[in-house]
Amino acid sequence: DTGVSQDPRHKITKRGQNVTFRCDPISEHNRLYWYRQTLGQGPEFLTYFQNEAQLEKSRLLSDRFSAERPKGSFSTLEIQRTEQGDSAMYLCASSLYRDGYTFGSGTRLTVV
């Protein structure tokens, strides 16, 4: 297993455009998490899935954000009508139940 993969690594988009990120977790992990990190801050929780069910969403996850995990495998995070404040590193992690997390390298989003 090659760990948690995130695609793309970098994304530059114009304000108002939609973007979608993908996360491929470790295959045997049933939990998948999305975090957002801005410069100089620790990662902030956005949402997590157990298998295909989205069990918790942070209030940071506005209506413009949506996450899916069809069939409990890979996950996508979509941001609609991007704003400059959405510029951040988006991190995905996976775990087996309550075990520790394995993080991906993240997708860096820049909204211009």
By C-beta, is 21 or 33 nearer to another protein?
Answer: 33
- Among residue numbers 8 through 37, which ones bind another protein (CB under 8 A)? 33, 35
Binds another protein by CB under 8 A, chosen from 7, 20, 44, 87:
44
Among residues 82 and 104, whose Cβ is nearest to another protein?
104
| Cβ neighbours of residue 34 closer than 8 Å, sequence gap 6 or more | 23, 46, 47, 48, 67, 75, 77, 90, 91, 92
d(CA 73, CA 5): 12
Binding residues for another protein, total number by CB under 8 A: 22
* Residue 4 touching another protein (CB under 8 A): yes
Residues 76-105 binding another protein (CB under 8 A) are 91, 93, 97-98, 100-105
Pairing assessment for the beta strands 107-111 and 10-13 based on DSSP bridges = parallel
Q: Which of 88, 23, 33, 27 is nearest to 57 (CA)?
A: 33
User: Which residues of the shown chain bind another protein in the complex (CB under 8 A)?
Assistant: 4, 33, 35, 40-45, 48, 56, 91, 93, 97-98, 100-106
